[in-house]
Structure 1
Amino acid sequence: MLSPRRHPVLCALLVCALAVLAARPGDPSVGDGVTGGADGSGTGTGTRVARLYRDAAVATQQYERGRHEAEAQRAEARRLEGLLEDQRREIAVLHEDLGRIARAQYRDGGGLPIAARLVLAGSPEELMRGQHALSQAELAVNNAIAKSRRAQARLAADEARAEAAWRALEERNAELAAMKASIERKLQEARTRLQGEADVSAAAGSCRGAVRLDQPETSYTTAWVAPVETYTLSASFGSGGARWAHRHTGQDFAVPIGTPVRAVGAGKVVKVSCGGAFGMEVVLEHRGGYYTQYAHLASIAVDQGERVGTGQWIGQSGTTGNSTGPHLHFEVRVTRELGSGLDPVPWLAARGVRIG
């Protein structure tokens, strides 16, 4: 690792990095501004979780940009370190020149007073030649000293600017990391609260009004999408397990609590339920006589009878009902009821959505 006092002279590159990092992510306190509620007015924990997800994504992007920029600057610094070493070698050569000139002056009588030179000179012409040589030598010494001093001053200034720029860059990266960690901590707290509220509703078997989530503007070029944007596949269709009476009837997507759940295609909400093995769930009817189910939710963002578009947020993932951890249970059926399921993975693949 480079010593901070040996960083390269071209500090402008580091200043550019700081300019890139200066675009700060949104104030983490924005996640505290609750404008939604479980009573259907749009205010509450579900909305706060959705906003914190967005804030966390912005903070992560800013942090990653800063980290990549810092890495690029470090790579450039290693390349430019060679230029700084050239400066140091030049100064060393100047010092050698000074020593050589001083030694030559001493050997040639450069330190003798003018009277002694007159006595020792064989003729006036010889005296003049010697005097000229001494003047040239003194001029060379003065030039070499001035050049050496300028080079040393330039080197010290360059190193000082580089050190200051690197320190500011590292401080900004630390600030971004702290901001990201703060948002993620608030997000985890909000997830816990959201799941607690969902558990109360699921236990009571009573759904509160739809929590209208502030979904960003989206424009899908396809008629079908995956039910969640980022996920890890867990239990698959038809797999066995102690928690299922027969076989697993859908495809599970392991995602954190509060992850926005999307309608895989345009359709109509034909069922909203908040009790039983599936916990909080939504069932949509699509063209062609197919139905999709989204279960174990932590919040529901639609009402029964409502029409939804492709990719519209219909709820947030959770772990309500018969669930061992946060995930989305997704089913494709030929009726709205359990027992008519199809394997969701090839069904989505036939519609241009690759899962995996």
Structure 2
Amino acid sequence: MRSYRRHRLVVPVLLCALTMLAARPTAAPGEPGSGTGTGAEAGLSAEVARLYEEAAVATQQYEAGREEAERQRAEAQRAEELLDAQRRHIASLHEDLGRIARAQYRTSGGLPVAAHMILADSPDGLMRGQHAFSQAHLAVNNAISKNQRAEARLAADEARAADRWQALEKRNVQLAGLKADIEQKLETARSRLQGEADAAVAAGACRGAVRLDQPETGFTDGDWVAPVETYVLSASYGSGGARWSSRHTGQDFAVPIGTPVRAVGAGRVVKVSCGGAFGMEIVLKHADGYYTQYAHLASLAVDQGEHVSPGQWIGQSGTTGNSTGPHLHFEARVTPETGSAVNPVSWLAARGVSL
């Protein structure tokens, strides 16, 4: 079964400038994981990590814009209903004006005051006529004034609605363009990163740790986390397939190349290697005696012998080794070697991490 989980990003919006630390001695050829990548390699890994975070932020902003558009669309629909009511009211006022005008015409309401005086049968009749004329004149003026005010409100409301829509559409177009531009740059950088990783694995020599700035996680040494923040679960533990000699020994997380891979808990790096079925891989030993493996990576961010903390970035995902597409292969083991794996989903669940 596929599951999907999203977590809140912990890096500041568009301010995650990732840089490498001070250069360390480079490993001798064939000596895995005991040095630092070259400046170009470290810069590329940092660029992928930075673009990865920027793309995530841009996606969040774009999705927020889409949600705002939906809210605005609902508000616009309500506003349109109110505008329709105003239009009906104005139409009713127009009908009232027409009735008043026709009534005045039939009752000679348009005659001058002198004519009313001549035609009046008596002073009382003259007063009644004048009162009726004044009332009709006042009603006409009030109706005209109400109609003018209603039409002015309608025009203002329609203008405001149009302005809101134009501003919203412009903002969403800008966000979509920004998101597409970042994603294009990220895709190019990912391709380059994977190409360098494939070359290193083919040579059987890891390029060395690429030091990236670590996010502020807030985790303590007793915490446990998922190995990646955003993912889709793919091949599960124990599943069969032509790619494995017997059964799948881990849990696969389908993630794009360059996705930061995290240590699931505090531990020590006991193995860093390149080549073979797992491609670039890291194995950690944890305080409770268990081991975790992170395989098919595109870059390494730790060296053998280092201590790591929960949530620390230890590498970037890829598709090196025996892999049919970008993903992280994660195992929980009793020993550091292949063949001692346990169900990683249950293992993480026992430590409070639900995938």
* TM-score under structure 2 length normalisation: 0.84
Task: Give ranges in structure 2 of 5+ residues lacking alignment.
Answer: 1-12, 21-35
1:201: how far off? 0.9
User: Which residue number corresponds to residue 203 of structure 1?
Assistant: 202
What letter corresponds to residue 259 of structure 2 in structure 1?
T
What are the residue-to-residue correspondences of 1:208-223 with 2, within 5 Å? 208-220=207-219, 223=223
Letter in 1 for 2:305: G
Q: Which moved more, 1:247-256 or 1:110-119?
A: 110-119
Superposition deviation, residue 326 in structure 1? 0.9
Matched residue, 1:329: 329
* Residue of structure 2 equivalent to 1:243: 243
Deviation digits for residues 160-198 of structure 1 (CA, Å, limit 9, x no counterpart): 121111111122122212212222222211111110111
In the superposition, relative to structure 1, how do residues 249 and 90 fare at CA in structure 2: closer, same or farther (>3 Å)? closer
Deviation at 1:79, TM superposition (A): 2.9
Q: In the TM superposition, what whole-angstrom CA distance separates every residue of 1:50-71 from its partner, at most 9, and x where no partner exists?
A: 1112111211221222222221
Name the structure 1 match of 2:132.
Answer: 133
Aligned with 2:321: secondary structure?
coil
**Residues 61-88 of structure 1: per-residue CA shift (max 9 Å, x gap):** 2122222222123223333433323322
Instruction: Provide the rounded CA distance (Å) in 2 between the counterparts of 1:288 and 1:186.
Output: 42
Shift of 1:281: 0.9
Please say which of residues 155-164 and 139-148 is displaced more in the overlay: 139-148
Q: Which has the higher contact order (CA 8 A, sep 6+)?
A: 2
Give a deviation string over 1:143-169, Cα, whole Å, max 9, x none: 221221121112112111211111111
Q: CA deviation at 1:34?
A: 7.1
Q: CA deviation at 1:41?
A: 8.8
> Residue 345 and residue 196 in structure 1: after superposition, are their counterparts in 2 closer, same or farther (change >3 A)?
same
Matches within 5 A, 1:36-55: 36=20, 38-39=37-38, 43-55=42-54
1:68-119 Cα distance to aligned partner (Å, 9 max, x none): 2221232233334333233222212221221121112112212334554344
Alpha-carbon deviations, 1:195-237, whole Å to 9, x = none?
0111111111111231112232002265322222222223333
The verdict on how the C-alpha distance between 1:104 and 1:234 changes in structure 2, with shifts beyond 3 A counting, is: closer
Cα deviation for residue 343 of structure 1 reads 2.7
Identity %: 73
Could you tell me which amino acid in structure 2 is paired with residue 333 of structure 1?
A: R
Residue 310 and residue 113 in structure 1: after superposition, are their counterparts in 2 closer, same or farther (change >3 A)? Answer: closer
Please show how residues 83-162 of structure 1 align to structure 2 within 5 Å.
83-162=82-161
Q: Under a length normalisation based on structure 1, what TM-score does the superposition of the two structures give?
A: 0.84
Cα deviation 1:215-264 (Å, max 9, x = unaligned): 32002265322222222223333333333334333222221111111111
Paired residue total = 327
Q: Which runs of 5+ in 1 are unaligned?
A: 1-24
* Counterpart residue identity of residue 248, structure 1: H
Given that residues 42 and 212 in structure 1 are in contact (C-alpha distance below 8 angstroms), is that contact kept between their aligned partners in structure 2?
A: no
Name the stretch that deviates more: 231-240 or 187-196: 231-240
> Retained in 2: the 8 A contact 1:235–1:252?
yes
Structure 1 equivalent of residue 5 of structure 2: none
